[in-house]
Amino acid sequence: MRIVDQNELSRYKHIHHRKIHEGAIFIYPTDTIYGVGCDATNNEAIEKIRKLKQRPTQPFSIIAPSKEWIYNNCVIPEYAEEWIEKLPGPYTFIFELKNDSAIGGKVNPTNKTIGVRIPDHWISNFVSELGKPIITTSANKHGEEIMTHPDNLDLDFRPNIDFTIYDGALNNPPSSVIKLTDREPSFLRGK
């Protein structure tokens, strides 16, 4: 597992973007915790993350490349526009998906909603330059300790990760999850 920092990632971003387009699985920092991700349009790569996390059907969220991507691909109730204006930030918004081809079917195989993030972190610029969404889910097996540093990454994950983007120790609470598919918002996690 190769570890890169922000400088190396920036310097060789074209190489890392290519790896992601080719199906790489990678660990990356956000404004909250470390995530494990891949190209959210690549079902084969998504399935690898499902096996690592031992989550066969539970929905995954994505980091969107832009607010424009959210408006183009999700059903946005009028009241939700003020929530979108809070981005970037430590939020995951659940929307109804209006464009099935915007993500792979393995992101949420059980229904037509999508969790969307744009972290308040430089990683969002990297995703924006990639031009497509990436999976965002905590870098741990379901129910186990969240990764805060590469040293505490689950040993089963290590041989399956193509590269890790390291940005120091992260030990923040996970993002607030707010469902924006009904007549009013409902908080599923956080506040």
Superfamily of domain 2-189: DHBP synthase (3.90.870.10)
19-29 average pLDDT score = 97
CA angle (83 as vertex; 75, 142 as ends), nearest 5: 80
- What is the average pLDDT value for the chain, to the nearest integer? 93
N-to-C CA span, the chain: 36
What per-residue confidence (pLDDT) applies to 191?
Answer: 67
Q: Which two tokens stand for residue 21?
A: 């387009």
Is residue 97 pLDDT above 90, yes or no?
yes
* Domain spans in the chain, listed from the N-terminal domain onward: 2-189
Q: What angle do CA 20, 27, 23 make, to 5 degrees?
A: 25
At 137-191, the pLDDT tens digits run: 999 888 888 888 788 888 888 899 999 999 998 888 889 999 999 988 888 887 6
Q: Average pLDDT, stretch 17-21? A: 97
Residue appearing with tokens 């923040």: 172
pLDDT digits (tens, 9 = 90+) for 57-94: 899 999 999 999 999 999 999 999 999 999 999 999 99
103 vs 156 pLDDT, higher one: 103
